[in-house]
Amino acid sequence: MRKKFVAGNWKMNKTAEEARLLLNELIPALEPFSHIERAVCPPFPYLMMVRHMLEGTNIGVGAQNMHWEASGAFTGEVSPKMIAEFCQYVILGHSERRTYFGETDETVNRKVKSALSTGLTPIVCVGETLAENEAGKTAEVVWRQITEGLKDLLPEEGLKLVIAYEPVWAIGTGRAATAEVAQSVHANVVRPALAHLFGQEVAGQIRIQYGGSVTAKNAPELFAMPDIDGALVGGASLKAGEFAAIVQAAAEAQA
Ligand code: PEP
């Protein structure tokens, strides 16, 4: 059985003090659900503080991006080795990175390989835009993002991945995909694409999160679906009570 995994993507939000206050509320609120994999992904400047505050808990820390090179003349970039000092996870290929910062399937592929070789668990984001969805291209886009973004990985590397299916039209819009639609993409596109790359057995073990306007209200329905193995949560991860309620929904679905 795949263990549910809920991660909070704080994006470019919170001052250091606000981040500290959020964690002070979040740590006790998440404690009863230690059998669920949970992580927070703060902005780079807070990684060290967050890691330190989470010591003694089993709440993980993730970065929101990284460069693929280990070091060098890449002004403004952060390397896998640097984040690995504080993080177990790294979000890669988020749609905001693809849309605003020119991330492509090729750069995602380089980053995934580099993250794996540094011992980080990549949370690889895929998902179609509204225009692609309306043009009936969801399967084609998601299949391409997975097969290109995860190209040339070995099955044992595939096992270490987490995928987040995040339809772009659902991110930050308050308009989540229905549980049925998300389940259908997970079961009929994402997992078959993973099976195409790594074989059925490995594909069956990879967690596929759903992301896009997940809230405490819609989480139970989403997590009841057999191929929705958790969530990547944006806006709702900025409020301790709301994020904890989403983790609780995962815990109830796992039971
Ligand atoms: C995200 O950006 O990963 C996300 C899912 O955002 P939100 O939950 O705010 O839609």
pLDDT tens digits for 136-175? Answer: 999 999 999 999 999 999 999 999 999 999 999 999 999 9
The string of pLDDT tens digits covering residues 70-80 is: 999 999 999 99
Residue 124 in contact with residue 150, Cβ under 8 Å? Answer: yes
What's the one-letter identity of residue 203? A
Query: pLDDT > 70: what percent of the chain?
Result: 100
Buried b (16+ CB within 10 A) or exposed e, 52-79: ebbeeeebbbbbbbbbbeeeeeeeeebb
What's the one-letter identity of residue 245? A
> Which one of 99, 129, 166 would you pick to mutate in the ligand 1 pocket, going by the greatest count of ligand atoms within 8 A of its CB?
166
pTM of the model: 0.98
Q: Which secondary structure element, helix H or strand E, spans residue 19, and what is its range?
A: helix 16-30
Paired tokens of 227: 């191929």
Q: Is the CB of 9 under 6 A from ligand 1?
A: yes
The yes-or-no answer on residue 166 being catalytic is: yes
pLDDT of residue 159: 97
Q: Is the CB of 232 under 6 A from ligand 1?
A: yes
**Span 100-123, average pLDDT:** 98
Catalytic residue among 94, 103, 157, 186: 94
Cα gap 164→9, rounded to integer Å: 12
Paired tokens of 114: 């580099």
